[in-house]
Structure formats: structure tokens, C-alpha cells
Amino acid sequence: MITIRNTIVLTSVATFALCAACTPARRIDSRGNEVITSTNKVDVQDFNLAADKLVQSMTVSGVFAKSPNQPAILGISRITNDTSDQFDTDELIKKIRIALLQTGKVQISTTEGLGGKPEDPMAKGTKDMREFQSGKSNEMPRMTDFTLTAKILENSVSAGDTKQTSFIFQMSLTDTNTGNAVWEGEETVTKQGQKNAIGF
Amino acid sequence: MPRLFQIVSLTFALAACNTMNTVVPISNAAPGTPGFKQVITNSWLNSKSNVTDVKEDVVNGDQKRVQLSVYSDQATPQSISYRFEWFDGNGMRVTGAAQAWQTQRIMPRETIIITGIGPTPTATQWQLQLLDTNLPWTQ
């Protein structure tokens, strides 16, 4: 009787463990708390966290609300990834752009870009054509009021099998009238562990 | 058999423990009463993330900012996860305003400050969601 009961218990535990290990593919909330936290790369939730914090800081500073031109025009300047993780910096910048646009106080220029390369060549061409047809091509165009630059850095250490990686998101907002930074922010996301895990 | 039943029941009970606590503001609160309400479904979570004060103001000209004081009654360091949800004046959820879950470490008997800013000028109502992070199977 005891042997049968032990067999049932062990079989149940083994079955449960096997089922738990074989997680079928499913869609999860990318802003939720079930995403995988890795120890050596920037995860999607790291971008979410950094973007939320940086936008909050920018909002509280009131820089855009104080701009003489409303809404203020923001240009995206140099964004540098100085980490060992090869990611597209738009994973951070696009979130910030969306959040700033939602405030209603900022518009993002897609026809002016770093090195004269517009983000949207078709919009640039259409805008130029309209200005030419309306005779405004000789007028001084409205320039960007602010530019945004950013750099993402990495700092890694380890203690035995435990790895700790810090990703430092640095950002500056420059007033193009004065050439001075009117806002700067820094957000650090630190992760520690021996291996990747699900959740926080 | 009874012991097996107890083990299975305890497992399911623990799994069901990580329910969400919610904090919502109360409009037209009576003088001297808190201007917020905590909807507590997880008393253990509440013991380490009890909201004691709420302050509101406006930043950037027209965006609501809310600041909550959260107190832990525990004798050991704890972790909590929180997220703000925003709604307009009609109670409709502001589209695209879902913020990411954030994790906060809270020391024994510490009061921490949690801040949220409405993503748009129309986001005038808020809700704070709290979840436990210190679960053994999340490690």
C-alpha cells in the first residue's frame, strides 16, 4: 500500500515537472512581468523602463512647455550604442518619441536628420515641392527648436558565478537657439544573476 | 492520502496568492479622509506596500502628476512591482498609455515614493496596480 502510494506521488511529481518544463509557445505582454530577464543584454523591458523614466524627467522639467514656439520641433541627433549588445537604438528612441508626441507639446522632425539625411525622404521631397510651389522656398524654413542625443553604456562585473550588468542610458536635450543643453537625464538598469530568468 | 491532498492544496493556494492590489483616487473625498482607496486582495502584499499618502499636481503645463507614499511593515527587505494605468475624464483608458511594470526594492519599515505622470493632458484619472515580486518560483 505504501509502495503504491509512493509510486503515485512520484509519478505525479514527475509528470508535473515534465509539464512545467515543456512550456508551449504563447504571446505575453511585452510590458508585463512575465518577460525573460537576461543577465548580459538589454531586454525589451529595460528599454521600456528607461524610456518611461527619461520621458518623466523631461516632462517634469517643463522644457517643451516653455518653448516660445508651440509645439516645439524636436530633431533626433546622434544616438550611440556603446554596449556589447548589438541592438537598434530605435528600440529606445521610438518609445521616447511616441511618449513626447502624446504630450501634444512636441513634434518630431522626420525631414531633418543627422548629416542632412532625412528620416522620411518622401516627406522631405513633398515638403520641398510644396514650399517651391507656394513660393516659400526662398524663405527661412522653421528649424528644429531642440535636438536629442543619447548614449547607452555598459558596465559588467561578476562575483563567482553571479554576473551583474548595468546599462546606463544617457540623454541630452539641446536648445538650438543657444546651443546649450537645457535638459539632461540618466537612467541605469542593473541586472544580476547566474542565468536568465522569467519575470523580475 | 490526506498528506498528499494537503501538499497539493498548499501548492494551489500559494499559486493563487499573488493577486493584485489596486489604489484609486476618490473624488470629492470628505475633509479629513484620505483621497484614495486601496482595493486589497493580497494582504501579504499590502503589509509591505501600504499606501499612506497621495499627492497630485500638474507638470508641463497640463499633465497630471501623482505621487504616492508606500510603507513596508516588514522586518526584511522586500520587492514589489507596480504600474500606473491612466484614464480620461470619461473613465476611458488612454490608448497607448500602458506603462511598463517597474520593480522597487523597499527596506524594512521604509517609506518609498512612487511617482506617475499622465502621458497626455487628457489623462486625468489614474490607477496604481501593485504585485508581489518576492515569489520563490520567479527566481
Q: pLDDT digit string (tens) for B61-77?
A: 899 999 999 999 999 99
Which of B98, B131, B138 lies nearest to residue A31, judging by beta carbons?
A: B98
Express as a percent the part of chain B with pLDDT over 70.
81
pLDDT at residue B137 in the model: 41
Q: Which CATH number fits domain B19-134: 3.40.30.10, 2.60.40.3230, 1.10.10.60, 3.40.50.11270?
A: 2.60.40.3230
Q: How far is B139 from chain A, CA to nearest CA, in Å?
A: 7
Q: What is the pLDDT of residue A39?
A: 86
Out of A9, A49, A105, whose CB is closest to B102? A49
Cβ separation of B96 and A98 shorter than 8 Å? yes
Q: What is the average pLDDT value for chain A, to the nearest integer?
A: 88
Query: Quick one: which H or E segment has residue B65?
Result: strand B63-71
Q: Is the pLDDT of residue B15 over 60?
A: no
Q: How confident is the model at residue A91 (pLDDT cuts 50, 70, 90)?
A: very high
Structural domain boundaries in chain A: 36-109+144-198
B81: chain A residues, CB-CB within 8 Å: 33, 200
Higher-pLDDT residue of B11, B29? B29
CB contact under 8 A, A52 and B102: yes
Cβ pair A102:B120 closer than 8 A = yes
- Between A8 and B10, name the one with better pLDDT: A8
Interface residues on A facing B, Cβ-Cβ cutoff 8 A: 5, 8-9, 31-33, 45, 48-49, 52, 56, 59-60, 62, 64-65, 98-99, 102-105, 197-200
pLDDT at B88: 94
- With a pLDDT cut of 70, the percent of chain A lying above it is 93
Domains of chain B, residue spans: 19-134
Topology of domain A36-109+144-198, CATH: Rossmann fold (3.40.50)
| Mean per-residue pLDDT, B41-60 | 93
Distance from CA of B12 to the nearest CA of A (A): 13
pLDDT attached to residue B106: 94
Q: What is the mean pLDDT of residues A48-60?
A: 93
| pLDDT tier at A20, thresholds 50, 70, 90 | low
What per-residue confidence (pLDDT) applies to B11? Answer: 52
Partner-chain contact B60 A65, CB within 8 Å: yes
3-class secondary structure for A40-100? Answer: CCCCHHHHHHHHHHHHHHHHHHCCCCCCCCCCEEEEEEEEEEECCCCCCCHHHHHHHHHHH
In whole angstroms, what separates CA B9 from the centre of its chain? 28
Closest residue on chain B to A56 (Cα): B117
- Does residue A17 register a pLDDT over 90? no
Nearest C-alpha in A relative to B79: A200
Residues of A with CB below 8 A from B99's CB?
A: 31, 48, 52
Q: pLDDT tier at B136 (50, 70, 90 boundaries)? A: very low
Residue B12: is its pLDDT beyond 90? no
ipTM of the complex: 0.78
Per-residue pLDDT for B98 more than 80? Answer: no
Tell me the chain A residues in contact with residue B65 when contact means C-beta distances shorter than 8 Å. 60
- Cβ-contact B121, B101 below 8 angstroms: no
Query: What's the predicted TM-score (pTM) here?
Result: 0.82
pLDDT at B134: 60
For residue A20, give the amino acid letter: A
- The pLDDT, as a whole number, for residue A148 is 96
**CA–CA min distance B11, chain A (Å):** 12
